A and B are shown apart, each in its own frame.
Chain A
Amino acid sequence: MENAVQQINNLSIGFTSKKGEQISILKNITTNIKKGETVGIVGESGSGKSTLALAMMGYVKQGLYTISGECLFHSNDLLRMKDKDLEDIRGRKIAMIPQNAGQSLTPNLKIGYQIDEALKLHTDLKIQDRNKKISELLNKVRLPSPEIMAQRYPHELSGGQQQRVAVAMALAGNPELLLLDEPTTGLDVTTQAHVLELLNFIAKDTGTSMVYVSHDLGAIAQVSDRVIVMYSGQIVLDGPVRRILKNPIHPYTSGLLKSIPKLTLPGLPKSMSGSQPQPGTITKGCSFYDRCELAEMNCSNNSPELEYVKNLNTSVRCFKHKELHEKIDKDENLVTSIENTILDKEMLGLSKVSISYAKKKFIDQLLNKESDDNPTVKDINLNISKGETLALVGESGSGKSTILKSIAGLLKAKEGNIKYENNKILPNELKLRDPNSLRAIQLIFQNPDESLNPNHTVEQIVSQPLKLYFGLQGEKLKDEIIKVLKKVRLGEFYLTRYPRQLSGGEKQRVAVARAFAAKPDVILCDEVTSALDVSVQAAVLNLLQELKKDFGTTYIFVSHDLAVVRAISDRVAVLYQGRLCEIGPSKNVYNFPSHPYTEVLLGAVLEPDPDIKPKLVAEDIVEEKPPEKGCSFQGRCPRKVGEICNSEVPPWQIGENGNAIRCHINIDELRNLQK
């Protein structure tokens, strides 16, 4: 192809298993990247997308090798090039920005120096020109006051700023192709929106081709011109962004899109069953066969080829793509709205809770003085009714997980108290809590890889709470374990498995089973879906909702993902820097004029739709500490009214629709402002 920067032909990469079989991670990839084009590569974990991105740099991970095919960069095969020649291309012509840019910067060297190094390596500029270029680059990635920035060390910058520096370094050699591997994963929502906007700007400004690898369809939608969908090492769909995201003609992609919770479509999304097959397990037929709703006999025996559909300008790997194209999804029930029976009985109440991480200074201890009058979390009042799902949202540093830990007794509240059921005050130390209240409150963690003991079988894991709280043993214990596993849709044969033998979704189910085994009244969910793949996330959310229906359990659901929260919660509390900003019924918080911070958060949500752009209202600076006095959001508030925000804590105002916000601006005036 004429104007292709990179052309990949029939590329397969794999490894040889212990048994001597050749197993491919990438299977016959053929595609190209055109000049000035941004291509999004999307896939879930295990789809081979990162392996493909690395191959585009001429890099194959240890243990893997090229089975067949080529990866041409201006008609030079990167995979068969001498190391020396590759070095000339990497950094200069092809640059990569890794997921965690902060870790790829050298901690003890100043930013300016590190960019200078990159310039020395990749350009022939003289020293004066280089200094000018450093400022220019920092300017281009929109870091404020480049001269000062250049003198800083990486740790003095926020995550978003570090990511910008990484972009600046990558641009140092004026690359023709920029590879980005999950560049915004792990950043806060507002920061993420800013970085994506910057990348769009750079693509336009410099004409660099970009390859954007991510699992996040929302991010992909914002930056890509073209999207490649990967499944189990193959390209299953490849075409213009609107075609792929608005009317996908591959069942996997449409299923994936349906399983993402959206702000515009409140309710629990449909989940996809099963999980992506392990490399090497599919030998014949379509690799999506197990999970496909449209599958028929033909699919299990013959594997579909990647077929170019001319009138749609799209390549697709499915026998039934025509049918899919003709079928219109509109009348289908895409989401199930949640209906919780909320009883008029308080399950949990927090009053005036403050939590501080600061240790008391020795002198203060002697004088018996409170040392920290600016605690991490301050003045939290929350009441949760039986059967309700309350969500706590906010970015990192908002204190949402801290509050959860203190409810669980893992962190001591400095002030205030936590009440459980009819006004029984829970001791704030774990040791002092009675077994029954310990049982009543269970936790589910973010990452099941961390929260399940890798040396325990599923049986041992689920037996822990049963033995501890109910003293079960022998046959009775085993029966109960099987019963609990059944509730989370895991069969009996899982008993003897270790966590490493399970998929991500299965692991999280085990964690859910362990929590429910205690027959709890309240379950604290700490970012329970954020470590999971999108298609699995919906399944776990649906499971939690079903269990809630069966047992009437109360949930406190912590998440940074506003769309997930919208899908599952009855009420939302928005936190910034450990202070409550807004609280109210979900549908009101999301639909009516709201606190300026909520407005910022909602504006930054990335929808998997290229036509809905995020609104960038506030600066993406990160604050280390909550302000001493005044409104917690004063540092970033786009609607700040003046001195009063800095000096006085804003009062609570109750809107007519039931949500309470904490701001100096009158609630009716906010409505006018936000119209």
Chain B
Amino acid sequence: MELQVEKPKSNLFKIYEIISTMASRPSGLIGLTILLFHVVLAVTSPLYAPHDFKAIDPSLMLLPPSSEYWFGTDSLGRDVFTRTILGGRTALTVTFFGSIIALLWGGALGIFCGLVGGRIDDVVMRIIDAFLSIPWILAMLLIVSLLGTSTIVLIPALGFFYGKGIVRVARAATHDVIAKDFIVSARARGHGNLSIIWNEILPNVRDAIMVEGAMRWSWMLLGFSSLSFLGFGVSPPTPDWGLMISNARGLMSFAYWAVLAPIVGLSSLIIGINLTADAFAKALGIDRSTKAPV
């Protein structure tokens, strides 16, 4: 018999494979392109921002787009183009690390609950539900007003509030594998819980958790921008889309440019992340429609 020998794949090759599968669909390709564009922009924009983002000049107030000020100027005479290309930096960083925190604690707690099950699982899930039935924005406002708006506060706070969905997904995925005989087999051999989680459960739930994390990222971005919009996120004069939208919205009827640019920035990034997350799920073979509803 002829053997179809398959070479072992390195991790790097696997990542490459996943990305190329994602890019093979138009929606995935669009999503990846948008996301990549935003990341590159966020990293490099300080190098070529044409104007000083905090230079206030009353004589330049609310100028319409021109060759000098591509997206016009805002009510304080600052260049909207400069502020737009810089405005995603904080949001992207805060929410990226926020998502990772959400992923870590949500995943860990979800797997734990799925593994131990029974009464402990019930109690933990109830507590989380109760905690999170408080409107998150109120809770965030409370935290921010008590502890300030520094990123050191914002990242863990956002991470905490957006981890709930991940707990559910991780728990459901763990439930699926926990009944399988390979877990029973590991238990019968005498492996401890930690080893079972690390070796047997994690490889089987990792994909679902990561997809959920990517999904949460876009939600968190929206949440973070809402905070900024309300004045609790990034403090001026640091440019931020939420803040810019908030400042310019009163003047929308005669200076649309000042609000349009950050809106396009924010929504394109959210759409980009969403499309990427969807393509990611499909590339890993996860059908999001059958996963636990959040």
B173-203 vs A: 1/0 string, CB under 8 Å?
A: 0000000111011111111000000011001
Q: Is there contact, CB below 8 Å, between B203 and A410?
A: no
Assess whether A442 is in contact with B187, with CB atoms less than 8 Å apart: no
**Contact call B184/A410, Cβ cutoff below 8 A:** yes
Query: How many contacts A-B (CB < 8 Å)?
Result: 67
Selected interface stretch from A239-247, A392-400, A448-456, A577-585: A448-456
Contact of B189 among A281, A453, A468, A496 (CB under 8 A): A468
Please indicate the chain B residues that have their CB under 8 angstroms from the CB of A493 in the complex. Answer: 3, 5
Q: Are A410 and B182 in contact (CB under 8 A)?
A: no
- CA separation between A514 and B184, bound complex, in Å? 14
Asked whether B1 is an interface residue with its Cβ less than 8 Å from the other chain, the reply is yes
Q: In the assembled complex, how far is the CB of residue B227 from the closest CB belonging to chain A, in whole angstroms?
A: 38
Provided the pairs A450-B182, A493-B3 are in contact, do residues A443 and B188 lie with their beta carbons within 8 angstroms? yes
B190→A430 contact, CB < 8 A: yes
CB–CB B203/A433 < 8 A: no
Tell whether B267 is near chain A: CB-to-CB under 8 Å. no
Give the one of A442, A455, A493 with max B CB within 10 A.
A455
B181 near A451 with CB under 8 A, answer yes
Does A335 belong to the interface (CB within 8 Å)? no
Beyond A450-B180, A464-B199, A496-B8, whether A443 also contacts B204 by CB under 8 A is: no
The answer to whether B188 and A410 have CB atoms under 8 Å apart is yes
Counting CB contacts under 8 A, is B68 at the interface?
A: no
Q: Mark B1-41, 1 if CB is under 8 A from A, else 0.
A: 11101111000000000000000000000000000000000
In the complex, chain A residues whose CB is within 8 Å of the CB of B1: 274, 277, 290
Residues of B within 8 A of A445 (CB): 181, 184-185
Interface membership of A409, Cβ < 8 A: yes
* Contact (Cβ within 8 A) A447 B181: yes
Quote the shortest CB–CB distance from A595 to chain B (angstroms). Answer: 32
In the assembled complex, the Cα of A427 lies from the Cα of B204 at a distance in Å of 32
Tell me the bound Cα distance from A443 to B184 in angstroms. Answer: 10
The smallest C-beta distance from B118 to any residue of chain A, in angstroms, reads 11
In the complex the two chains form, is B188's CB within 8 Å of A468's CB? Answer: no
Shortest distance in angstroms between B201's beta carbon and chain A's nearest beta carbon? 9
Query: Quick one: which of B242-273 are within 8 Å of A by CB?
Result: none
A318 CB, min distance to chain B CBs, angstroms:
19
The reply to whether A409 and B203 form a contact with Cβ atoms under 8 Å apart is no
Interface contact A468-B5, CB-CB below 8 Å: no
Instruction: Tell me the minimal C-beta distance from A255 to chain B in angstroms.
Output: 16
Q: Is B188's CB under 8 angstroms from A451's CB? A: no
- A123 CB to closest chain B CB (Å) equals 38
Interface residues of A in 463-487 (CB under 8 A from B): 464-465, 468
Q: Is A13 an interface residue (CB 8 A)?
A: no
Q: What residues of A have a CB within 8 angstroms of the CB of B199 in the complex?
A: 453, 456, 460, 464
- Cβ B188 vs Cβ A409 within 8 A: yes
List of A residues within 8 angstroms of B6 by Cβ: 496-497, 501
Min CB distance, B157 to chain A, in Å?
Answer: 34
Which chain B residues lie closer than 8 Å to A518 at the CB level? 189
A452 to B186, alpha carbons, bound, how many Å?
10
**Main secondary structure on chain B at its contact with chain A?**
helix
Contact A456 B203 (CB under 8 A): yes
* A63 touches B (CB below 8 Å): no
Bound state CA distance, A443 and B187, in angstroms? 11
Residues of chain B lying within 8 A (CB to CB) of residue A167: none
A455-B203 CB under 8 A given contacts A443-B185, A447-B181, A493-B3? yes
Question: Chain B: how many interface residues by the 8 Å CB criterion?
Answer: 22
Nearest Cβ distance between residue A428 and chain B, in whole angstroms?
14
Expressed in whole angstroms, the minimum distance between the Cβ of B278 and any Cβ of chain A is 22
> Which residue, of B2, B185, B191, has the highest number of chain A Cβ atoms within 10 A?
B185
Complex contacts, A290 vs chain B, CB 8 Å? 1
Chain B residues 197 to 216 lying within 8 A of chain A, measured CB to CB, are: 199-200, 203-204
> CB-CB < 8 A to B184: which residues of A?
410, 443, 445, 451
Q: How far is the CB of B149 from chain A (nearest CB, A)?
A: 42
Tell me how far the C-beta of A528 lies from the nearest C-beta in chain B, rounded to whole angstroms. Answer: 12
| A118 at interface by CB-CB < 8 Å | no
A455 touches which one: B8, B191, B204 (CB < 8 A)? B204
Q: Is A20 an interface residue (CB 8 A)?
A: no
Assess A430 versus B188: contact at CB under 8 Å? Given A274-B1, A450-B180, A450-B182. Answer: yes
The reply to whether B188 and A453 contact each other, CB–CB distance below 8 Å, is no
- State which size class the interface on A falls in: 35 or more
**Distance from A29 Cβ to chain B, minimum over Cβ atoms (Å):** 25
Name which residue of chain B comes closest to A410, CB basis: B188
Report yes or no: A451 in contact with B189, Cβ–Cβ below 8 A: no
Chain B residues with Cβ under 8 A from A456's Cβ? 199, 203
Hey, which chain B residues are within 8 Å of A447, CB to CB? 181
A residues in contact with B186, CB < 8 Å: 464
Residues of B within 8 A of A575 (CB): none
Q: A263 an interface residue at 8 Å Cβ cutoff?
A: no
Given contacts A274-B1, A430-B188, A430-B190, contact A450 B181 (CB under 8 A): yes
Interface string of B145-174 (1 = CB under 8 A from A): 000000000000000000000000000000
CB of A408 within 8 Å of the partner chain: yes
Give the complex CA separation of A274 and B180 in angstroms.
28
A435 and B190 within 8 A (CB) = yes
**A620 CB to nearest B CB, Å:** 29
CA A451 to CA B182, docked complex, whole Å: 4
A290–B3 Cα distance when bound, in Å, is 12
CA distance A281 to B2 in the complex (A): 9
- Minimum CB distance partner of A441 in chain B: B188
Query: For the complex, is A438 an interface residue (Cβ under 8 Å from B)?
Result: yes
Question: Using Cβ atoms and an 8 Å threshold, which residues of chain A touch B5?
Answer: 493
CA distance A290 to B180 in the complex (A): 34
Q: Mark B32-52, 1 if CB is under 8 A from A, else 0.
A: 000000000000000000000
In angstroms, Cα B185 to Cα A446, docked, is 12
Residue of A nearest to B183 (CB): A453
Cα separation A455 to B205 with both chains bound (whole Å): 10
Contact: B181 with A438, CB < 8 Å? Answer: no
Q: Are A453 and B203 in contact (CB under 8 A)?
A: yes
Given contacts A450-B180, A453-B182, contact A410 B190 (CB under 8 A): no
- CA separation between A457 and B2, bound complex, in Å? 21
Across the two chains, which residue of chain A brings its CB closest to B177?
A453
- A406-446: CB near B (< 8 Å → 1, else 0) gives 00111000000000000000000010010100110011011
Tell me, in angstroms, the Cα distance from A349 to B1 when the chains sit together: 46
The chain B residue with its CB closest to the CB of A499 is B182
Closest Cβ of chain A to B13, distance in Å, is 13
- A453 and B184 CA atoms in complex are apart in Å by 11
B-side contacts of A455, CB under 8 Å: 203-204
CB neighbours of B187 from chain A (8 A): 410, 430
Instruction: Kindly report which residue of chain B lies nearest to residue A443, judged by CB atoms.
Output: B188
Query: Which residue on B lies nearest to A515, using beta carbons?
Result: B185
| Closest chain A residue to B1, Cβ basis | A290
Residues of chain B with a CB closer than 8 A to A439's CB? 189-190
Let me know if A465 and B189 touch, CB within 8 A: yes
Tell me the complex Cα distance, A439–B191, Å.
Answer: 11
Assess the A453–B190 pair: CB atoms within 8 A.
Answer: no
Task: Please give the distance in Å from B208's CB to the nearest CB on chain A.
Answer: 12
- In the complex, what's the smallest C-beta–C-beta distance from B115 to chain A, in angstroms? 15
CA distance A496 to B4 in the complex (A): 12
Question: What residues on B are CB-neighbors of A468 within 8 Å?
Answer: 189-191
Q: Name the residue on A nearest B200 (C-beta).
A: A453
For A277, the chain B residues whose CB sits under 8 A away are 1
Interface string of A504-544 (1 = CB under 8 A from B): 00000000001000100000000000000000000000000
Docked Cα-Cα span, A501 to B199, in Å, equals 20
Hey, what's the 0/1 contact readout for A142-160 against B, CB within 8 Å counting as 1?
Answer: 0000000000000000000
9 contacts between A and B (CB under 8 A): A410-B188, A450-B182, A451-B182, A453-B203, A457-B8, A464-B186, A464-B189, A468-B189, A497-B6
| Other 9 A-B pairs with CB < 8 A, given A445-B181, A446-B181 | A409-B188, A430-B187, A450-B181, A451-B180, A451-B182, A451-B184, A452-B182, A457-B8, A464-B186
Chain B residues proximal to chain A, CB less than 8 Å: 1-3, 5-8, 180-182, 184-191, 199-200, 203-204
Chain A to chain B: the 3 pairs with minimum beta-carbon distance, closest first: A455-B203, A438-B190, A451-B181
